[in-house]
Structures are given as structure tokens and as C-alpha cells.
């Protein structure tokens, strides 16, 4: 029986199948393409692959809208291809984690088609159907059962004239929410999870799993949210970590996960440290870790994600330290800078200019991977891939981005201003094809890619990075080696240094008699660092650094070059 906590010393690599590798020239990545490129992951040294959804789907939200959980979308391949991938991953000593998207299905899923077939349908209560607001005519503005705003702009309710009721969708209208109050729904989900576990998968990344329990009034209605601006209210207090969320997650664990030593990570918008302690407490048997969004909101202005503001390093350090300390005695952290929903970190928190792209990408990797928790590497992060500079709205593909653009335009915003807000933060920045080499379409496809390749692939690509010992790729490979070689990186106690310094990020990890020091200059200017009482740590063994020619430390002081970082060990 494998160690039930194997994932504490593991590093996970996220693959976004549409954009990873296309084996049949249709311009969309697929499973055979992933199999062809597994040796890239072996060379990087990762332990686990998290596969974003490959299930049958109309692809309204690129697979996060599933129409059949037990089948593969033809654009990605077949069930046989999945079995071949699982075998190929296991043969290479890695594990495979699937994406579990069960807060909602596609509106083309058989369950929903039956549910919308009539108010008397046996599956009507598998989703959230409600009549129009009293005194309002269905389908007219204001008639929605609640005033909640969708994550993807507009109302969370879609009018169904055929049955005279609205259905709830927190995301796109083609993603109706499942009603987890109904035990039949939950049992159907658990059966599907067991089906995949029996097929050999090693765990689940659970999509917006803290949204499945909604807060109902005694009469079964759902409350309006507070209106801060515009037409809609904030419904999040009524569906985020709802009243039965722990009951549901414990039941899911008992029914589908218990005693199988699987990796489970819950994606949880709005989750707090206090809640995460409960969700990841091993004694409660719910999930191993959660994805928090707090650090991903530190550069959001009053206007939200589309209103990007400069990041303050002290805010970032304070937040990461709070999560390190908050889950030090119970639970476990996940660690990530990137995923398929976030812009590229080197362009966001680093510096993607030719002068600093490589060093800042390395240093961002260093400060994240030496923290306590399980690191996640998003495809292309190990190459230092950057945001893309799409000029026209027609170049974007993401439903969240396009909905925002359309709705804001309707509300009177100018296209130029909208595009200026969209470019640095759109999810499409993470979804341009993986850059394998400098050839046409970056070696991603021989066909027409579903989304444009970043033109900087001629310089930034896996072939060039693998051949260059000083590349971001080899730095990430060494970060993973250091984690695999040193228990202090996995289990060491965390302590933040220099909390109020806006230029330097420094902290220690301690285990037994060993102390690891991480010291990083997070700016494009040289930094003079003074670490009182830490001369012995500054003189420690260099496990990893970005600059072979770094200035020697002088007692408690050291000068770091722009974006320079060092990992030092005192045994």
C-alpha cells in the first residue's frame, strides 16, 4: 500500500490538453500528443500529471462543460487513448490526476436534457429550476429568481420558455449547476469517480468544489445578494462553502476515495485559511489540499480582475506567509503561480523583458517551490512562457473574456479601454499552444492552431531550453531535485524574514538541525540585503542559485543582482 501522504513530497505538472500537443493536425491538442511528449515531463522530474478535462464536451468552456463523464471528446481521442496514457504515465513512474467537474454539467449532458424535458421529469430536481420572480414575466429583465451575477458576466439564471422556469448556472449558460441537495445526484457523481479510479487514475483536482452546497431558505428559495454596483447582486455568500459542504465532501471521500491513497485537491474560490484548515484536516477525511485564490487577487483593483494594479511585494509575502503559518500544524498547502485561468506569472509578477525574463522566471520558481506544500507547474511555466499580445478581440477564445467584453460593451464601455483591461489578465494568456520548438506553430501542430501561437516561440521553446544549461527549464528541474533530495524542503517549518522589504523576499525552512535559507531579489534593481544574525545561513552550502557569479556574502550582508535568488543550506 503506498504512503497515504505521498503527495506531500510530489511535484505536479498541469496539462491543458487543447494547447499541449496535437498529434493529428486538427489544430487541437490531444491524448496521443501528450503521450508523445511524456519524456519532456520525465526530464523535468515531475511526479504527477494533472490533466484538465478531456471528457466529451461541446467545448463552450474548453471542456469544463461536460456532456458525458465516462467518454472522451473525439477532438482529444478515445477511451483507449486514455488507457494508453495512464499506462504510459505509470510506466514512467508518474501518476495521473483527473479533473472532476461536478458543480455543473454541460446543458448537452443527458441528465440535463432529461431534466429540461418537463417540470415532471424524473431528473427535474437534479438541477436548480425556479419560477420567475413573483410579479414578473419570465424572460424579462428582473424576473430572474435571484439577482446573482455569473462568474462569466450576466445573470446566473437562464429562462427556459418551454417549461416556464429558469435554471441556475454560476458559470456559462451552457453549464447548469447540479443540485447536490439531491442524494441521487451525489451517488451518480461518486459512481463516476469510482469508475475512473478503477480505470487506474491516481486522484482528482476538483473544480469549484466549494460551490456545490447552496444556502436555501426554509421555503426552498434562494436569497438575493447585496447589490454593490450595476444590476446584479453578489450571490457568493449563498453558494461559497455552503451549509452542507463538509457533509458532502466527507460523504464523497467515504463513497469514492477512502483508503486508496489518492491525491485530491479542491479548487476553492473564496476559501479562507480557517476553512482550509477544516477542509484539509486529515482527521476529517475531505480533501488533501485546496487551491486558494487570495494571492491571485493581490493585483486586482476595485474593478476586479479586469482592473489590474501593480503588485506590492509586501502584500504577496504577507499572504503566502499567512497560508504557510495557517496550515503549519494541520492540513497542507498547494503552491501555484500559474494555471489555465491565470495570466503567465513572469509577465504578471516578474519581468518578461529580454533582459530579465529568464532570471525573474527562475526566481519566481525558487520562492514558490521552496515553500511548504505541493508545487504545481503549469505547462510552459518551466520554459518561462509569457503572456501573448493579442490586439483584436477576434483573437481571443475564452468564454469568460468574450462574455465580459460583450456585456461591458453593452454597458457603454469603449472597445479600446476594454481590450486594454483584457490583454494582461485574460485566461487566453495561459492557453496559447505549448512552445516545443522554433518551427511553424512551435511544433504544436501541423494544422491551423485553435488559438494563435505566441510569436516569441522562435526564442522561447522547449528544444532551446533543454539544450541550454542556464535555461528556466533546467532551473525548474533542479528545484524539483532539491525537493526530492531534502526533507527540510518538504517538512521544514517556515519563517518569513524582512516582511516589510518591498524588494527582497527571504525566508527560512527548518527541520531537525538543518536550516534552509531562501533569499531573492524580486526587482530589476540591485538589492543590498542585511539579515541580522543570519551570517551562518548566508555562508551555507549553495543548493541552487540563479547567478553563478553572485557577490559573496560578507557576514550578515549580501548584494543581490536584479532578480537574483539563492537557496542555501546550513546542515
Among 305, 344, 483, 486, binds ligand TEU (CB under 6 A): 305
Residue 233 Cβ vs ligand TEU, minimum distance, rounded to whole Å: 18
Binding mask 134-163 for ligand TEU (x = CB under 6 A): -----------------x------------
Q: How far apart are CA 132 and CA 142, in angstroms?
A: 9
Identify the active-site residue in 47, 149, 160, 207: 207
Nearer Cβ to ligand TEU, position 358 or 425? Answer: 425
Please report whether residue 101 would count as binding ligand TEU according to CB under 6 A. Answer: yes
Our CA angle for 151, 157, 158, nearest 5°, is 115
Residue 268 Cβ vs ligand TEU, minimum distance, rounded to whole Å: 9
Nearer Cβ to ligand TEU, position 143 or 408? Answer: 408
CB-based contacts of 103, cutoff 8 Å, min separation 6: 170, 177, 178, 207, 208, 209, 211, 212
Q: How far apart are CA 29 and CA 3, in angstroms?
A: 34
Q: How far apart are CA 142 and CA 134, in angstroms?
A: 10
Please report whether residue 48 would count as binding ligand TEU according to CB under 6 A. Answer: no
Tally of CA atoms within 13 A in the half-sphere of 540 that contains its CB: 21
CB 147 within 8 A of CB 233: yes
Binding mask 243-272 for ligand TEU (x = CB under 6 A): ------------------------x-x---
CB-based contacts of 383, cutoff 8 Å, min separation 6: 435, 460, 461, 462, 465, 471, 472, 473
Residue 23 Cβ vs ligand TEU, minimum distance, rounded to whole Å: 24
Nearer Cβ to ligand TEU, position 375 or 492? Answer: 375
Among 207, 299, 351, 564, binds ligand TEU (CB under 6 A): 207
Please report whether residue 165 would count as binding ligand TEU according to CB under 6 A. Answer: no
Nearer Cβ to ligand TEU, position 101 or 252? Answer: 101
User: Residue 138: which of 149, 129, 125 has the closest Cα?
Assistant: 129
N-to-C CA span, the chain: 33
Q: Partners of 519 in the beta sheet?
A: 506, 566
Q: Which of residues 468-507 bind ligand TEU (CB under 6 A)?
A: none
Q: Considering CB under 6 A, how many residues would be counted as binding ligand TEU?
A: 14
Identify the active-site residue in 73, 107, 144, 267: 267
Nearer Cβ to ligand TEU, position 32 or 169? Answer: 169
Which helix (H) or strand (E) segment holds residue 334: the answer is strand 334-335
- For the residues of 516-559, what is the DSSP string, one character each? EEEEEE-SSS-EEEE-TT-HHHHTSEEEEES-TTPPPPBTTEEE
Please report whether residue 50 would count as binding ligand TEU according to CB under 6 A. Answer: no
C-alpha dist (Å) from residue 390 to 428, 432, 451: 9, 11, 11
Please report whether residue 299 would count as binding ligand TEU according to CB under 6 A. Answer: no
Q: Which of residues 426-445 bind ligand TEU (CB under 6 A)?
A: 427
Q: Which of residues 334-363 bind ligand TEU (CB under 6 A)?
A: 340-341
Nearer Cβ to ligand TEU, position 174 or 362? Answer: 174
Please report whether residue 291 would count as binding ligand TEU according to CB under 6 A. Answer: no
267 noted as active-site residue = yes
Among 61, 144, 158, 351, binds ligand TEU (CB under 6 A): 61
Nearer Cβ to ligand TEU, position 40 or 305? Answer: 305
Please report whether residue 64 would count as binding ligand TEU according to CB under 6 A. Answer: yes
Q: How far apart are CA 324 and CA 279, in angstroms?
A: 16
Among 160, 286, 400, 428, binds ligand TEU (CB under 6 A): 400
Q: Partners of 51 in the beta sheet?
A: 15, 98
Please report whether residue 177 would count as binding ligand TEU according to CB under 6 A. Answer: no
Please report whether residue 234 would count as binding ligand TEU according to CB under 6 A. Answer: no
Residue 366 Cβ vs ligand TEU, minimum distance, rounded to whole Å: 26
User: Residue 204: which of 270, 249, 271 has the closest Cα?
Assistant: 249
Q: Partners of 154 in the beta sheet?
A: none
355 noted as active-site residue = no
Residue 5 Cβ vs ligand TEU, minimum distance, rounded to whole Å: 25
Nearer Cβ to ligand TEU, position 297 or 470? Answer: 297
Please report whether residue 208 would count as binding ligand TEU according to CB under 6 A. Answer: yes
User: Residue 235: which of 149, 162, 306, 118 has the closest Cα?
Assistant: 149
Among 7, 16, 76, 171, binds ligand TEU (CB under 6 A): 171
Q: How far apart are CA 59 and CA 199, in angstroms?
A: 24
Q: Which of residues 115-134 bind ligand TEU (CB under 6 A)?
A: none
User: Residue 124: which of 114, 137, 133, 110 has the closest Cα?
Assistant: 114
Other Cβ atoms less than 10 A from the Cβ of 398: the count is: 22
Residue 196 Cβ vs ligand TEU, minimum distance, rounded to whole Å: 18
Q: How far apart are CA 486 and CA 499, in angstroms?
A: 25
Residue 248 Cβ vs ligand TEU, minimum distance, rounded to whole Å: 17
Binding residues for ligand TEU, per CB under 6 A? Answer: 61, 64, 101, 151, 171, 207-208, 267, 269, 305, 340-341, 400, 427
**Which residues are the active-site residues?**
207, 267
Amino acid at each position: 500500500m503506498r504512503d497515504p501522504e505521498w503527495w506531500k513530497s510530489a511535484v505536479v505538472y498541469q496539462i491543458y490538453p487543447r494547447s499541449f500537443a496535437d498529434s493529428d493536425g486538427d489544430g487541437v491538442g490531444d491524448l496521443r500528443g501528450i503521450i508523445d511528449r511524456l519524456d519532456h515531463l520525465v526530464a523535468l522530474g515531475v511526479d504527477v500529471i494533472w490533466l484538465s478535462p478531456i471528457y466529451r464536451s461541446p467545448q463552450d468552456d474548453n471542456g469544463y462543460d461536460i456532456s458525458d463523464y465516462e467518454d472522451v471528446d473525439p477532438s482529444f481521442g478515445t477511451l483507449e487513448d486514455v488507457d494508453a496514457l495512464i499506462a504510459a504515465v505509470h510506466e514512467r513512474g508518474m501518476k495521473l490526476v483527473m479533473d472532476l467537474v461536478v458543480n455543473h454539467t454541460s446543458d448537452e449532458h443527458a441528465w440535463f436534457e432529461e431534466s429540461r424535458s418537463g417540470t415532471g421529469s424524473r431528473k427535474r430536481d437534479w438541477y436548480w429550476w425556479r419560477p420567475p420572480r413573483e410579479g414578473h414575466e419570465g424572460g424579462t429583465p428582473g424576473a430572474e429568481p435571484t439577482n446573482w451575477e455569473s462568474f462569466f458576466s450576466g445573470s446566473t439564471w437562464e429562462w427556459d420558455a418551454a417549461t416556464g422556469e429558469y435554471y441556475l448556472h454560476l458559470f456559462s449558460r451552457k453549464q447548469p449547476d447540479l443540485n447536490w441537495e439531491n442524494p441521487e445526484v451525489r451517488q451518480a457523481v461518486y459512481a463516476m469517480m469510482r469508475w475512473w479510479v478503477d480505470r487506474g487514475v491516481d486522484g482528482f483536482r476538483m473544480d469549484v468544489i466549494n460551490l456545490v452546497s447552496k444556502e436555501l431558505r426554509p421555503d426552498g428559495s434562494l436569497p438575493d445578494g447585496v447589490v454593490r454596483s450595476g444590476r446584479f447582486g453578489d450571490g457568493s455568500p449563498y453558494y461559497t462553502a455552503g451549509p452542507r459542504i463538509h457533509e458532502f465532501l466527507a460523504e464523497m471521500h467515504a463513497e469514492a476515495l477512502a483508503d486508496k491513497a489518492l491525491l485530491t485537491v479542491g479548487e476553492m474560490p473564496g476559501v479562507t485559511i480557517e476553512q482550509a484548515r477544516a477542509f484539509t484536516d486529515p482527521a476529517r477525511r475531505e480533501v488533501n489540499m485546496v487551491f486558494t485564490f487570495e494571492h491571485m487577487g493581490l493585483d486586482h483593483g476595485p474593478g476586479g480582475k479586469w482592473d489590474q494594479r501593480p503588485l506590492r511585494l509586501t502584500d504577496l509575502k504577507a499572504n503566502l506567509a499567512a497560508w504557510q503559518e495557517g496550515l503549519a500544524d494541520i492540513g497542507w498547502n498547494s503552491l501555484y503561480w500559474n494555471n489555465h485561468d491565470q495570466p503567465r506569472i513572469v509577465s504578471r509578477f516578474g519581468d518578461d523583458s529580454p533582459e530579465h525574463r529568464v532570471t525573474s522566471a527562475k526566481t519566481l520558481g525558487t520562492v514558490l517551490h521552496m515553500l511548504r506544500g505541493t508545487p504545481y507547474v503549469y505547462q510552459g511555466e518551466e520554459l518561462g512562457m509569457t503572456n501573448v499580445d493579442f490586439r483584436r478581440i477576434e483573437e481571443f477564445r475564452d468564454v469568460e473574456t468574450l462574455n465580459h467584453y460583450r456585456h461591458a460593451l453593452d454597458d457603454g464601455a469603449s472597445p479600446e479601454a476594454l481590450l486594454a483591461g483584457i490583454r494582461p489578465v485574460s485566461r487566453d494568456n495561459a492557453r496559447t499552444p505549448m512552445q516545443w520548438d522554433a518551427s511553424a506553430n512551435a511544433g504544436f501542430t501541423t494544422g491551423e492552431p485553435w488559438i494563435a501561437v505566441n510569436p516569441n516561440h522562435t526564442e522561447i521553446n522547449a528544444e532551446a531550453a533543454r539544450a541550454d544549461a542556464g535555461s528556466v527549464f533546467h532551473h525548474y528541474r533542479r528545484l524539483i531535485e532539491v525537493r526530492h533530495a531534502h526533507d527540510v524542503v518538504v517538512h521544514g517549518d517556515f519563517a518569513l524574514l524582512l516582511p516589510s522589504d518591498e524588494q527582497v523576499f527571504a525566508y527560512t525552512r527548518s527541520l531537525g538541525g538543518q536550516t534552509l535559507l531562501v533569499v531573492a531579489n524580486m526587482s530589476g534593481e540591485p538589492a543590498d540585503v542585511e539579515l541580522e544574525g543570519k551570517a551562518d545561513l548566508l555562508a551555507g552550502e549553495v543548493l541552487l542559485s540563479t547567478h553563478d557569479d553572485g557577490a559573496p556574502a560578507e557576514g550578515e550582508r549580501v548584494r543581490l543582482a536584479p532578480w537574483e535568488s539563492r537557496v542555501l543550506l546550513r546542515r
